[in-house]
Amino acid sequence: SQKIEQNSEALNIQEGKTATLTCNYTNYSPAYLQWYRQDPGRGPVFLLLIRENEKEKRKERLKVTFDTTLKQSLFHITASQPADSATYLCALVDNAGNMLTFGGGTRLMVKP
Amino acid sequence: NAGVMQNPRHLVRRRGQEARLRCSPMKGHSHVYWYRQLPEEGLKFMVYLQKENIIDESGMPKERFSAEFPKEGPSILRIQQVVRGDSAAYFCASAGPTNTGELFFGEGSRLTVL
């Protein structure tokens, strides 16, 4: 069956450190993969998109990698700040489909 | 440039009543998606619409749920004869005409069924 798996346990890190979140998928052939941020009681906000032929994408303190052999994407936040605390969702569009499918999200807590 | 607007933000219904959730996409966007999110869970795709057309409704329950995106006006997600299990946050998202992949989400409508 198709799955998009993110660590359901919260990730707690100290301010200033790099946060690394993982997204693994099974039985998908993604055209592209995206990362979103969701704060409590709010809608998700788009952060980054990476295509199947791209290995890495950066935006300010954010970096996403995409390994289609390992079927995994890593999402990094460098120099993390308490304001980065939120739930981060990965999502992908399969080559065979046309809708975005989401993982369960990982909650990040950055402590001052 | 107003974002995706959803209303109502909160809706309380008794079992058996109808719930209507409205979504106005961003200006110039012609693609609308509806997702459902249960507490502590991820977003589950329900339906993808373009103006006057349902493109993909593979995530919609076969009974009691329907969606439309008329030529004029907002997209509507309608839930008939609500049950307690329908309690969730319903998010609408829109994408532009070229549908580059990025979705713009509204703040959601939270349905509580008593």
| DSSP secondary structure string for all residues of B68-104 | E--SSS-EEEEE-S--GGG-EEEEEEEE-TT--S--E
Distance from CA of A81 to the nearest CA of B (A): 23
* Peptide linkage before B8 cis (omega within 30 of 0): yes
Residues in chain B whose Cβ is within 8 Å of chain A: 4, 33, 35, 41-45, 48, 55-56, 58-59, 91, 93, 100-108
Distance from CA of B57 to the nearest CA of A (A): 10
Evaluate whether B77 touches B90 at the Cβ level (below 8 Å): yes
C-alpha to C-alpha distance for A91 and B49, rounded to whole angstroms: 19
Q: At B1, is the pLDDT very low, low, confident or very high (cuts 50, 70, 90)? A: low
CB neighbour list of residue A53: distance below 8 Å, 6 or more residues apart: none
Evaluate whether A2 touches A91 at the Cβ level (below 8 Å): no
Q: Which residues of A touch B33 (CB under 8 A)?
A: 99-100
Calculate ∠ Cα A44-A48-A52, nearest 5°. Answer: 120
pLDDT at position A99: 79
- Mark yes or no for CB contact A99/B102 under 8 Å: no
pLDDT at position B99: 62
Q: At A29, is the pLDDT very low, low, confident or very high (cuts 50, 70, 90)? A: confident
- Mark yes or no for CB contact A99/B48 under 8 Å: yes
* Mutation site, A36, A99, A106, interface B, largest B CB count within 10 A: A99
Q: Which residues of A touch B108 (CB under 8 A)?
A: 41-43
Percent of chain B scored above 70 by pLDDT?
Answer: 96
Distance from CA of A110 to the nearest CA of B (A): 19
CB neighbour list of residue A95: distance below 8 Å, 6 or more residues apart: A29, A30, A31, A52
pLDDT at position B100: 67
pLDDT 10s digits, A73-93: 999 999 999 999 999 999 998
Amino acid making up residue B40:
E
pLDDT 10s digits, B37-48: 987 778 999 999
